[in-house]
């Protein structure tokens, strides 16, 4: 959908249009924006708003629910189930692309089932396969595709990083360094050990790191295990931060703010 929904032909009979907010983005929401969306929804019965229903998006739910009296319910999207994600990956290119063993599983881990990032990777892999005139996707191909995304990060990824405060940037960089893969977890003590072992000039107390991890869990950037260890909700962000926002880069960045 374009930046201006009114420019879309939303009055077309039979069309159902939904304004979707992506999970993993930390939006600085404004009531007037959602008041505008509410007015559109009041005017067009078939226009819907889909929200992850957490973090900053909760204000969107509240504002639209208050302003749009004709809306019976506000749809909330959740991370797609693994089977749904697999279908999103395979069905559009059914019988045209052959995925080598474990490639689909790797894509699911990278995106955590989030449709937006799944579609980004899928579009890039189709372009890659067409360019190389092949239809078999290997793990090495997926690695190259992801590296290309990291070389030209999405605006959503850049916005996410820019919206973090200094403590969050340092903590996420340390966490990305500590995790061997997208399914591993690290604790506050693990991050403190990394600081001491490498003599990083990071002036964060253990309490500050723990509070920061908890806040990132609360805003659903991270997942938390039963023993208070953490990992990235979206594996793509772990790999991107590990590659493009190493701790030394982040230390230099925050010192120049």
| Section 211-220 average pLDDT | 95
Kindly indicate the confidence band of residue 136, based on its pLDDT and cuts at 50, 70 and 90: very high
Compute the distance between CA of residue 25 and CA of residue 105 in angstroms, rounded to an integer.
Answer: 23
Question: What is the secondary structure of the chain as a DSSP string?
Answer: --S-GGGS-TTSTT--EEEE--TT------HHHHHHHHHHHHH-TTEEEEE--STTHHHHHHHHHHH-TT----EE--PPPHHHHHHHHHGGGTTT-EEPTTHHHHHHHHHTT-HHHHHHHHHHHHHHHHHTT--EEPHHHHHHHHHHHHHS--HHHHHHHHTS-HHHHHHHHHHHHH-SSTT--EEHHHHHHHHHHHT------HHHHHHHHHHHHHTTSEEE-TTSEEEESSHHHHHHHHHHS-HHHHHHHHHT-
The answer to whether 114 touches 235, Cβ cutoff 8 Å, is no
Compute the distance between CA of residue 102 and CA of residue 75 in angstroms, rounded to an integer.
Answer: 33
**CA of 135: how far to CAs of 95, 96, 141, 197, in Å?**
10, 7, 11, 45
pLDDT in tens, 157-200: 999 999 999 999 999 999 999 998 878 899 999 999 999 999 99
50 versus 85: the higher-pLDDT residue is 85
Compute the distance between CA of residue 225 and CA of residue 234 in angstroms, rounded to an integer.
Answer: 15
Residue 231 has pLDDT above 50, yes or no: yes
83 versus 53: the higher-pLDDT residue is 83
Residues contacting 208, CB < 8 A, separation 6+: 167
Q: Is the pTM of this model over 0.75?
A: no
Compute the distance between CA of residue 42 and CA of residue 199 in angstroms, rounded to an integer.
Answer: 58
Q: Which of 112-116, 146-150, 185-189 has the lowest mean pLDDT?
A: 112-116
pLDDT in tens, 149-168: 999 999 999 999 999 999 99
Kindly indicate the confidence band of residue 215, based on its pLDDT and cuts at 50, 70 and 90: very high
């Amino acid at each position: 959908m374009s930046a201006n929904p009114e420019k879309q032909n939303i009055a077309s009979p039979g069309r159902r249009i939904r304004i979707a907010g992506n999970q993993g983005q930390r939006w600085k929401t404004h009531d007037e924006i959602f008041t505008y969306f509410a007015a559109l929804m009041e005017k067009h019965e078939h226009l819907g708003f889909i929200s992850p229903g957490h973090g900053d998006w909760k204000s969107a739910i509240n504002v639209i629910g208050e302003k749009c009296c004709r809306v019976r319910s506000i749809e909330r999207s959740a991370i797609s189930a693994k089977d749904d994600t697999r279908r999103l990956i395979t069905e559009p290119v059914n019988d045209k692309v052959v995925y080598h063993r474990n490639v689909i599983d790797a894509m699911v881990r990278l995106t955590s089932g989030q449709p937006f990032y799944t579609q980004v990777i899928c579009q890039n892999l189709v372009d890659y396969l067409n360019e190389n005139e092949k239809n078999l996707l290997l793990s090495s191909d997926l690695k190259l595709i992801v590296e290309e995304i990291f070389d030209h990060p999405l605006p959503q990824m850049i916005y996410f990083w820019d919206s973090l405060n200094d403590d969050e940037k340092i903590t996420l960089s340390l966490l990305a360094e500590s995790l061997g893969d997208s399914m591993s977890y690290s604790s506050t003590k693990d991050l403190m050990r990394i600081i001491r072992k490498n003599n990083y000039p990071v002036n964060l107390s253990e309490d500050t790191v723990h509070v920061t991890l908890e806040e990132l869990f609360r805003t659903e950037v991270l997942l938390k295990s039963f023993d208070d260890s953490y990992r990235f909700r979206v594996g793509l962000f772990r790999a991107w931060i590990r590659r493009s926002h190493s701790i030394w880069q982040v230390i230099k960045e925050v010192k120049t703010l």
